Chains A and B, each alone.
Chain A
Amino acid sequence: MLDAATKTDSMLAVRGLNAWYGESHVLHGVDIDIRPGEVVTLLGRNGAGKTSTLRSIMGLTGRRTGSVIFEGRETIRMSPDGIGRAGIGYCPEERGIFASLDVTENLMLPPKVRDGGLDLPTIYALFPNLKERARSQGTKLSGGEQQMLAIARILRTGAPLLLLDEPTEGLAPVIVQQIGAMIREIKARGFTVLLVEQNFRFAQTVADRHYVMEHGRVVDSVANHEMAGSMERLHAYLGV
Chain B
Amino acid sequence: MLEEFLFQLEMSAPQIVLGLVNGAFYALLSLGLAVIFGMLNVINFAHGAQFMMGAFVAWMLLNWAGIPYWGALILSPLIVGAFGVVLERLMISRLYKLDHLYGLLLTFGLALIIEGLFRNGFGSSGLPYAPPAALSGAPVDLGFMMLPKYRLWVVAAAFVVCIATWLVIEKTRLGAYLRAATENAPLVQAFGVNVPRLVTLTYAAGVALAALAGVLAAPIYSVNPGMGSNFIITVFAVVVIGGMGSILGSVITGFGLGLVEGLTRVVYPEASATVIFVIMAIVLLARPAGLFGRA
A interface, CB within 8 angstroms of B: 58-60, 79-81, 83-85, 90, 92, 96, 98-101, 105, 108-111, 113, 154, 157
Contact = CB atoms under 8 A, between A and B. Distances in A.
Given A98-B184, A99-B183, A109-B188, A81 B176 contact: no
B interface, by DSSP: helix, strand, loop or mixed? helix
B192 A100 contact: no
Contacts of B183: 98-100
A85 B192 contact: yes
Nearest to B195: A81
Contact of B176 (A80, A96, A109): A109
19 contacts: A58-B190, A60-B186, A79-B189, A80-B186, A80-B189, A85-B192, A92-B187, A96-B184, A98-B179, A100-B179, A100-B183, A101-B176, A101-B179, A101-B180, A109-B188, A109-B191, A110-B191, A111-B193, A157-B192
B118 interface: no
Nearest to B178: A100
Nearest to A104: B176
B180 A81 contact: no
A111 B192 contact: yes
Interface in B68-126: none
A interface, by DSSP: helix, strand, loop or mixed? loop
Interface string B150-194: 000000000000000000000001001101101110111111111
A235 B195 CA distance: 43
A79 B190 CA distance: 9
A135 B194 CA distance: 27
Interface residues of B, number: 18
Contacts of B180: 98, 100-101, 109
Nearest to B173: A108
B248 to A, nearest CB: 12
A232 B112 CA distance: 70
B187 A111 contact: no
A164 to B, nearest CB: 13
Pairs A-B, 7 closest by C-beta atoms: A84-B192, A110-B191, A85-B192, A100-B179, A80-B189, A96-B187, A98-B180
Given A81-B195, A96-B184, A100-B182, A109 B190 contact: no
B142 to A, nearest CB: 39
Nearest to B188: A109
Given A92-B187, A98-B183, 9 more contacts: A58-B190, A81-B193, A83-B190, A84-B193, A108-B173, A109-B180, A109-B191, A154-B191, A157-B192
Contacts of A111: 191-193
Contacts of A99: 183
Given A80-B186, A92-B187, A98-B183, A109 B177 contact: yes
A79 B191 CA distance: 11
B209 to A, nearest CB: 21
A85 B191 CA distance: 7
Nearest to B179: A100
A92 B177 CA distance: 18
Contacts of A58: 190
A190 to B, nearest CB: 20
Contacts of B179: 98, 100-101
Contacts of A96: 184, 187
Given A98-B183, A109-B177, A90 B189 contact: no
Nearest to A111: B192
A108 B188 CA distance: 12
A81 B192 contact: yes
